[in-house]
Amino acid sequence: DIQMTQSPSSLSASVGDRVTITCRASQGISNYLAWYQQKPGKAPKLLIYAASTLQSGVPSRFSGSGSGTDFTLTISSLQPEDVATYYCQKYISAPFTFGPGAKVDIK
Amino acid sequence: EVQLVESGGVLVEPGGSLRLSCAASGFTFSNAWMSWVRQAPGKGLEWVGRIKSKTDGGTTDYAAPVKGRFTISRDDSKNTLYLQMNSLKTEDTAVYYCTTGGRGGVGTSLADWGQGTLVTVSS
């Protein structure tokens, strides 16, 4: 099965900072990569699918890129409401494995 | 508006069984592929399995840790998804989420999520 890794596992940044999280697949997955945001005590929320397509209603400060094995989630200007854990997930075929998550908080 | 409401989570002893339900509304449930995802306390997300729409065969796929013990089914007349869990282990303790999607190789992946229901496996 394809394994997913993420880095860093956690980060602290200031409001307004640009934040980048990377996700790597152990084999190529084309662009079948989704990003989810999970705030404490809440269900996850889909942010980005097909590696770079923003889900409806998601702020434009979020963006995704990549294809094959290496992917990136970028928050262009970190806001207090972005404090959350971010997960990548591959969905080229079952099993739809998630990455271990990257926790983002405010410095 | 899509709504997914899970129910059935309780405290159960190791080796026991439990059935979770997910009531769906706001979309054409019979056309939807559906998935279950779980999250152990303080841990990350783990995909559990999915069921295809009946028109696409209605078959299921499962993650290795639950294969042979868990069964996903659906009742399109009731717009309800189920997760039958047998031979439960302490490591199955988690919040279980119902989600739309799971088609694979197309679309948005898991677009909509319920609020989750907590299953605790303990003696």
Q: Closest CB to B109: pick one of A1, A34, A95.
A: A34
Partnered with residue A37 across adjacent β-strands are A45, A86
What SS3 state is found at A25?
strand
Average pLDDT over residues A9-20: 98
Determine the pLDDT at residue B102.
Answer: 83
Distance to chain B for A15, nearest Cα, Å:
25
Chain centre distance of CA A63: 9
SS3 A57: coil
pLDDT of residue A53: 96
Give the residue among A79, A87, A39 at the shortest CA–CA distance from A60.
A79
For the segment A77-105, what is each residue's pLDDT rounded down to a tens digit? 999 999 999 999 999 999 999 999 999 99
User: A87 and B44: CB-CB below 8 Å?
Assistant: yes
Give the pLDDT of residue B87.
98
Mean pLDDT of A23-32: 97
Residue B30, pLDDT score: 97
Q: Tell me the pLDDT tens digit for each residue of B104-119.
A: 878 789 999 999 999 9
Cα separation, B45 vs A36, whole angstroms = 10
d(CA A24, CA A26): 7
Q: What is the pLDDT of residue B31?
A: 95
CB contact under 8 A, A49 and B46: no
In angstroms, the CA B1 to CA B13 distance is: 37
- Read off the pLDDT of residues B48-92 as tens digits, 9 standing for 90 and up: 999 999 999 999 999 999 999 999 999 999 999 999 999 999 999
Which residues 48-107 of A are in CB contact (within 8 Å) with B? Answer: 49-50, 55, 85, 87, 89, 91-101
In terms of CA atoms, which chain B residue is nearest residue A95? Answer: B63
| pLDDT reported for residue A104 | 98
* Residue A46 pLDDT class (50, 70, 90 cuts): very high
Query: Residue B7 and residue B115: Cα distance in Å, rounded?
Result: 10
Question: Which residues between 8 and 67 in chain B have a beta carbon less than 8 angstroms from any beta carbon of chain A?
Answer: 35, 37, 44-47, 50, 61, 63-64
Tokens matching residue B18: 């439990």
Residue A90, min C-alpha distance to chain B (Å): 9
Residue linked to tokens 């779980």: B38
The angle at the Cα of A50, spanning A47 to A52, to the nearest 5 degrees, equals: 65
Q: Give the tokens for residue A53.
A: 């397509």
Q: Provide the chain B residues 73-102 that lie in CB contact (below 8 A) with chain A.
A: 97, 101-102
| Contact indicator for B88, B73 with CB cutoff of 8 Å | no
Q: What is the pLDDT of residue B103?
A: 85
Contact A94, B100 (CB under 8 A): no
